[in-house]
Amino acid sequence: MTKSKEPDKNAGRLDIDTLGPAKINSPLLGYTAHGPIEVTPWDSFTDDDSRVLLDVNVKSLTKMAAEGCHPDSFEEAGARRAIYFDPSKVRAAILTAGGLCPGLNDVIRALVMTLYYRYGVRNILGVKYGYQGLAPEFGHELIPLDADFVSNIHEFGGTVLGSSRGGVPAEQLVDSLERLNINILFCIGGDGTLKGAHAIAQEARLRGLKLAVVGVPKTIDNDISLVARSFGFETAVAIASTVIRSAHTEAVGAPYGVGLVKLMGRDSGFIAATASLAQSDANYVLIPEIDFALEGPGGLLAHLEKRLDSRGHAVIVVAEGAGQKYFENAGDSKDASGNILHKDIGTFLAETIKDYFKGKNKELNLKYIDPSYIIRSAPANASDQVYCSFLGQKAVHAAMAGKTDLVIGQWNDHFVHIPIALATQTRKKIDPNGVLWNSVLEGTGQPTFTDKRIA
């Protein structure tokens, strides 16, 4: 293995692996979907020494300069003038794994279209049902992909390749890839999928195989570290905002009405927080990053009672991973991808609120809405569609240049290459002291819920 050129001597953790020197002139130098052209503008290509700063804060940069440190920086994504793979010899595979998310088909389409038209790759295979599709015991057939097959798939939600959770040993997956003569693998998925992609890249490296593994980060929760925004998130926020508005309509339409909405957010409350800002009808937002008390004079129940007495209605938005301290054995169970299976905070809150007001002998009209699967299976909106196209295109450029074990992300308004191991090291979470959460507090007016008395 060789390393991409790295000008920042202290930024080794951001190095990107390559399969070897790129010695083949890119077909983008003289080819488009409509036939040969004289030359693609030289400035439209990206060099390996084009970097994007990790931290653009002037104060931080000045401090590092004073200490003689070089700032960390990402390798910028984009088409290279020289590529590693001969397009006529490439045999590429694409898989999607994990839960559904708006934009999956858009990414698949972008990958195929870029491979097919921009690089002239004709051997593209779709792997059915995630990593299962590479395991012989499941018997899933591969799907030949071309421009005609993917031409209209972006109009539909879900994934035409299917998806699954659960790991297959990396050794077995690489065995299959080797038998199939696959030399480029695109893995579209979240934390578990990307960890699997990293394991495949590591195993291929140990065997000396020339296999490029490139990830496209898919998490509707927007919780992948060092990725400013994941595809499908904006669509999720848009639909969730409509649901919050509906909950508000239900709440004001009945005496002592409460609209309770549970949104996705296993460990991070980005959808709940952002949708509540977009649709400013939420009065309470509960997320995994912020602890809250139900009981006591300063708890949620007492505050909700005061609000209903004074205003007559309320809307509560809760992320699925919030309030797990109220369940016994919380965190003991995991899904096939290794994610913690959280207890249902939505139904728990609904029943707890009903019991509280029943004990007070007070009227309550509570409507509980859980739109999770409706949101997950929706087609991407226009903004996410454009974003998915960029991600797919940049992923192909990286793979054709022989780069591997990386994920495509956006950072400081630039598309960059991020080592998979670094992107999956931690989960991105809302900063309790940051701008987003403070904006939620200002928008809702909610207090910090404790079991102590509040004014």
Dist CA 393 CA 212 (whole Å): 15
Comparing CA positions, the residue from 104, 113, 274 lying closest to residue 193 is 104
pLDDT digits (tens, 9 = 90+) for 263-304: 999 999 999 999 999 999 999 999 999 999 999 999 999 999
Distance of alpha carbon 92 from alpha carbon 79, whole angstroms:
17
- Give residue-wise pLDDT tens across range 1-17: 444 444 444 346 789 99
Residue 215 has pLDDT above 50, yes or no: yes
Q: Which one of 106, 221, 267, 405 is the catalytic residue?
A: 221
Q: Looking at the predicted structure, is the pLDDT value of residue 37 above 60?
A: no
* Cα-based torsion angle of the residue sequence 441, 446, 448, 452 in order, rounded to the nearest 10 degrees: 170
For position 415, what pLDDT does the model report? 95
What pLDDT score was predicted for residue 333? 63
Amino acid at 139: G
DSSP-based three-state secondary structure for 274 = helix
pLDDT for position 254:
95
Window from 23-32, 284-293, 348-357 with minimum mean pLDDT: 23-32
Q: Is the pLDDT of residue 445 over 70?
A: yes
Which pLDDT score is estimated for 453?
A: 54
Q: How far is it, in rounded angstroms, from Cα 60 to Cα 57?
A: 5
Q: What is the model's pLDDT at position 209?
A: 96
Report CA 318 to chain centroid distance, whole Å: 20
Q: Which tokens go with 336? A: 């096939």
Note the pLDDT of residue 443.
94
Whether the CB-CB separation of 239 and 253 falls below 8 Å is answered with: no
pLDDT at 59: 72
Query: What are the helix and strand counts (H, E) for the chain?
Result: 13, 20
Measured CA to CA, the distance from residue 158 to residue 431 in angstroms comes to 31
Angle formed at CA 409 by CA 180 and CA 15, multiple of 5 degrees = 75
Q: Which residues, 6 or more positions from 365, have their beta carbon under 8 angstroms from its beta carbon?
A: 254, 255, 256, 257, 258
The 8 Å CB, 24+ separation contacts for 246-254 are 246/369, 247/281, 247/315, 247/367, 247/369, 248/279, 248/281, 248/313, 248/315, 250/367, 251/313, 251/314, 251/315, 251/367, 252/312, 252/313, 254/313, 254/365
Q: What are phi and psi of 315, to 5 degrees?
A: -125, 130
- pLDDT digit string (tens) for 318-349? 999 999 999 987 555 666 556 666 789 999 99
Residue 55, pLDDT score: 79
| Weakest mean pLDDT among 217-221, 294-298, 375-379, 447-451 | 447-451
Our CA dihedral for 36, 42, 46, 48, rounded to 10 degrees, sits at 110
Active-site residue flag, 221:
yes
| Beta-carbon contacts of residue 192 (< 8 Å; ≥ 6 apart) | 97, 98, 165, 167, 337, 338, 339
Tell me the C-alpha distance between 273 and 287, whole Å. 8
Q: What does the pLDDT read at residue 3?
A: 44
Q: Is the pTM of this model over 0.85?
A: yes
Of 69-83, 159-173, 325-339, 400-414, the range with the lowest mean pLDDT is: 325-339
End-to-end Cα, the chain, rounded Å: 63
Six-digit token pair at 248?
């508000």
Model confidence pLDDT, tens digit, residues 99-141: 999 999 999 999 999 999 999 999 999 999 999 999 999 999 9
The whole-number pLDDT of residue 80 equals: 95
355-390 residues labelled b (16+ CB within 10 A) or e (exposed): ebbeeeeeebbbbbbbbbeebbbbbbbeebbebbbb
pLDDT score at 206:
97
Q: What tokens does 242 get?
A: 């409509």
Question: Where residue 72 falls among pLDDT bands split at 50, 70, 90?
Answer: confident
For the record, the structure tokens of 260 come out as: 């309770």
Residue 39 confidence (pLDDT) above 90: no
Helix then strand then coil, % of the chain, to nearest 5:
40, 20, 45
Q: How high is the pLDDT of residue 11? A: 45
Look over the chain and give the mean of its residue pLDDT values, rounded to a whole number. 90
Q: Is residue 104 left, alpha or beta, with left meaning phi > 0 and alpha meaning psi from -120 to 50?
A: alpha
The answer for 257, left when phi > 0, alpha when psi is -120 to 50, beta otherwise, is: beta
Nearest to 418 by CA among 395, 400, 401, 440: 395
Residue with tokens 């990206």: 46
Contact 261, 243 (CB under 8 A): yes
pLDDT digits (tens, 9 = 90+) for 173-193: 999 999 999 999 999 999 999
Q: Which of 381, 378, 389, 400 is nearest to 109 (CA)?
A: 389
How open is the CA angle 215-224-173, to the nearest 5 degrees?
35
Domains of the chain plus CATH, in order, are 2-230+380-423 (3.40.50.450), 233-378+432-444 (3.40.50.460)
